[in-house]
Amino acid sequence: MKANDLLPIGDLARRTGLSVSAIRFYEEKGLVEPHRTAGNQRRFLRSDIRRLSFILIAQKLGLSLSEIEDALAGLPQGRTPNAADWKRISGEVKQRIDAQIAALEKVREDLDGCIGCGCLSLKKCALYNAGDKWGEGGSGPRVLR
Amino acid sequence: MKANDLLPIGDLARRTGLSVSAIRFYEEKGLVEPHRTAGNQRRFLRSDIRRLSFILIAQKLGLSLSEIEDALAGLPQGRTPNAADWKRISGEVKQRIDAQIAALEKVREDLDGCIGCGCLSLKKCALYNAGDKWGEGGSGPRVLR
DNA sequence: GCTTGACCTCAACTTAGCTTGAGGTTGCAT
DNA sequence: ATGCAACCTCAAGCTAAGTTGAGGTCAAGC
């Protein structure tokens, strides 16, 4: 094994495709905790490449950074997420996706029922009321972009 | 018919469930165009109740205000959206929902394939690359909250 | 030992969709 | 004719997930 496996931020950026500023931002949010050199420069562990890759993937699946932080809470800094971790975390993610698909299918169904009716009657329109239901939870899923 | 069918903003807020400030904000965005009294107070048409209801519903379906503005562009101020309008607009919305469901199903499939692999290999992981694909279009669907 | 690119912090700016507050005016019921 | 709730404008603040820029420091190769 090589003596010095610590990466400066620019290298990590190149390895993950993230911008340097984004990595610094993630540190601020507590998602990574690099060491520092005597001169105050960040030095990351190799395992942080995967950690950040995981963040990227989870984000694309629609999780917010704070949700990702929760998901990563079980992983000590410096340990690469392994197959078991990934299974646990992706299981949670899958549930979210399932719920999201179900919600959208419900909407589509209501929409089908509504096309041609044109009522837009508040309190009576299924669509409107369905919307109310899942529009209300302040922390509901947030997706795609 | 009553002589004066114009509503002050508070009444409209009560009828739609929107806040007064949100209605003013929508006006600023060009989504409604109330008349004004001699004393500069807003007076809305009754048809604006439905117009705003439509905005609420469309928003819950994941359209941004500017997309809603586009969708409403065909409706002259003062005309309640009728069945034909609703059919046209909801047809567009349905396509968006279908696309969204399809995208999520693709992700779920990839995720199923990935669980247990734990690779997280950039450049090789289907999930990661799938993510890249639909993460890239700057104006993709934006959903649920 | 010096140059230069990579790094540092901190503050301000971005978009979307509003809310909140200050300070002032209107309109309707009595 | 007056009281006061409801209205008005304008400016600033909020969240998310960063980016951009100014001004300054570090470290590595020659």
Mutate which of B16, B85, B122 to test chain A, going by most A C-beta atoms within 10 A?
Answer: B122
Higher per-residue pLDDT: A142 or B77: B77
| A93-137 confidence digits (pLDDT tens) | 788 788 878 877 877 777 776 655 555 544 455 555 544 333 322
- Which residue is closest, via its CA, to the C1' of C25? B39
Closest CA–CA distance from residue A134 to any residue of chain B (Å): 8
Of A17, A94, A143, the CB nearest to B111: A94
Q: Is strand C in 7 Å reach of the CB of A9?
A: yes
Report CA(A1)–C1'(C23) in Å, whole number.
70
| A21-41 confidence digits (pLDDT tens) | 999 999 999 999 999 999 999
Domain A1-81 has CATH 1.10.1660.10: yes
Query: Would the CB atoms of B144 and A143 count as touching at under 8 Å?
Result: yes
Of the candidates A51, A56, A91, the one whose C-alpha atom is nearest the C-alpha of residue A73 is A51
Contacts with A105 from chain B: Cβ below 8 Å:
101
Is residue A59 within 8 A of residue A65, CB to CB? The reply is: yes
In chain B, where the domains are located:
1-81, 86-145
Report CA(A138)–C1'(D16) in Å, whole number.
14
Is residue A93 within 8 A of residue B111, CB to CB? The reply is: yes
Mean pLDDT, rounded, for A43-59 = 88
Report CA(B47)–C1'(D21) in Å, whole number.
49
| B41-99 confidence digits (pLDDT tens) | 999 999 899 889 888 888 877 788 988 888 787 666 666 666 677 777 777 778 878 88
Distance CA B21, CA B60 (A): 19
Confidence check: pLDDT of A142 > 50 = no
The two structure tokens encoding residue A97: 């996706």
Mean pLDDT, rounded, for B91-112 = 78
Q: Is strand C in 7 Å reach of the CB of B60?
A: no
If pLDDT is split at 50, 70 and 90, which confidence band does A5 have? confident
Query: Would the CB atoms of B57 and A128 count as touching at under 8 Å?
Result: yes
Contacts with B140 from chain A: Cβ below 8 Å:
144-145
Distance CA A41, CA A16 (A): 19
